[in-house]
Amino acid sequence: MTLALDANHDLFLGSRAGVATVSGGEAVAQRLLTRLKLFRGEWFLDVNAGTPWFQSILADNANIRTIEVELKRQILETPGVVSIISFAVDFNRSTRSLSISFEVDTPFGPSGVLEVSP
């Protein structure tokens, strides 16, 4: 069972004051977004969980190839992801801003385009 999250990534409560759940492709997409939005070291129970945004992606010596490899690795290692269908990175070194958009294939079909900006 995967608990449903709303657009702000907060727990979504169902209409009867219960907790809503998601399954199938929606659960895979939610897992992906949760994994990419979690900064490595942020969760005290497992400081190795999450994406290494500050450690390697937005680091001073980061290059676009390193960024792409790390983000694709994070995506492909997410349970339920079969392959990456499309992937694009918009990286601005001077402002150190980055956004990614991607689509993955799952056992339930394509995820639709997902976007993340740390």
Domains in the chain: ranges and CATH: 2-116 (3.10.450.40)
Query: What CA–CA distance (Å, rounded) separates 101 from 115?
Result: 4
Instruction: List the one residue out of 7, 35, 2, 31 whose CA is nearest residue 19.
Output: 2
Give residue 21's pLDDT: 80
Please check the confidence at residue 7 and state whether its pLDDT lies above 80: no
Q: What is the mean pLDDT of residues 56-79?
A: 89
- Helices 64-76, 24-37: crossing angle, 10 deg rounding: 140
> What are the tens digits of pLDDT across the range 101-117?
999 999 999 999 999 98
pTM for this prediction: 0.84
Contact 34, 6 (CB under 8 A): no
Secondary structure (3-state) at 57: helix
